[in-house]
Amino acid sequence: MYINVGTPGRCNDSHIFEKSALKQHHQNPIPTHLSTQINGVNVPVVMLGDSAFRFSDILMKPYPYRENASFSEKNFNYALSKCRRVVENAFGHLKARFRRIGKGLDNRIDNVNLIIKCACVLHNFLNEKNDCINNRWMQQLREQEETVVRPQPEFNCTLTDNNLTAENIRSAIAMFLVRQPLPA
C-alpha cells in the first residue's frame, strides 16, 4: 500500500501524482509476466485516475464525456468509476474512524504528516484484523461533510490525451469489458 502525505492542500491529485515516487517507480518497465494480451494489445498493470489526471500507458482515465459515446466507452467509464469509488470509500472510512482528520488537525504543523501516516497505518491494521467501523461514525461523517464548505484550488490545468499506446490499452480494456458482464 502506498500513501503520499505532506503536499499542500491547494495542489490537485494529478499534480501530486506527477511529482510522486509512485509515478517514478512505475516509469520503469513493468515485468511482462504481469501484463496480459487483450485483442493483440499488451496490457500492463495500470493505475486508475479521474479525468484530471494525465492519460498514459501507466494511468488510465475515463473517456471524455460525449453525447454519442459508444457503449464500450460508457461501459469502460462505468467500470473505472466503480473501482475508483472503492478508494473514495476507504478515505471515508479513515475519516469516520479518526474524525480529527476529517475536521482538520490543530496540532503543530511539523507533526501533521506523522499523525496522518500513523492514522493510515492504524486504519489498515484494524481493517486487517476485521475491526468494524461504527455505523454511527459514518452517519456523523456524512452529516459533517454536508455542512462543511471547503474552498477548492483555483489552478486549472488541461492535459491532453494524445498518447497512442495508452489509447490502444484503454480501447483493448473497453472491448474486453463489453464481453465480460460487470458484477452488480
The answer to whether position 2 is within a domain reads no
How many residues does this entry show for the chain? 184
Are 19 and 54 in contact by the 8 Å Cβ rule? The answer is no
For residue 1, being part of any structural domain is answered with no
Parallel, antiparallel, or unpaired for β 47-48 and 59-60?
A: parallel
- Give pLDDT, residue 150: 57
Domain for residue 3, yes or no?
no
List the domain range (segments joined by +) for residue 166: 13-149+158-179
Is residue 18, in this structure, part of any structural domain at all?
Answer: yes
- Report the alpha-carbon distance of residue 5 to residue 7 in Å, rounded: 6
Buried b (16+ CB within 10 A) or exposed e, 16-30: ebbeeeebeebeeee
32 occurs within a structural domain: yes
Q: What is the pLDDT along the chain (184 residues), one digit of tens a residue?
A: 677 787 776 777 888 888 888 888 887 776 778 889 998 999 988 888 888 888 988 899 999 988 999 999 999 999 999 988 888 888 888 888 887 776 677 777 788 888 888 888 888 888 787 777 767 767 777 777 677 665 555 544 545 567 888 999 999 999 999 887 655 5
Classify residue 184: in a domain, yes or no: no
Q: Is residue 38 a part of any domain in this protein?
A: yes
Select from 4, 37, 24, 48 the least CA-distant residue to 175. 37
For the chain, the C-alpha Rg in angstroms (whole number) is 19
> Structurally, how many domains does the chain consist of?
1
Specify if 126 maps to a domain: yes
State residue 181's pLDDT score: 62
Give Cα separations from 172 to 65, 74, 76, 164, 180 (angstroms).
19, 14, 10, 12, 12
pLDDT of 178 reads: 87
Q: What is the pLDDT of residue 30?
A: 67
CB 14 within 8 A of CB 54: yes
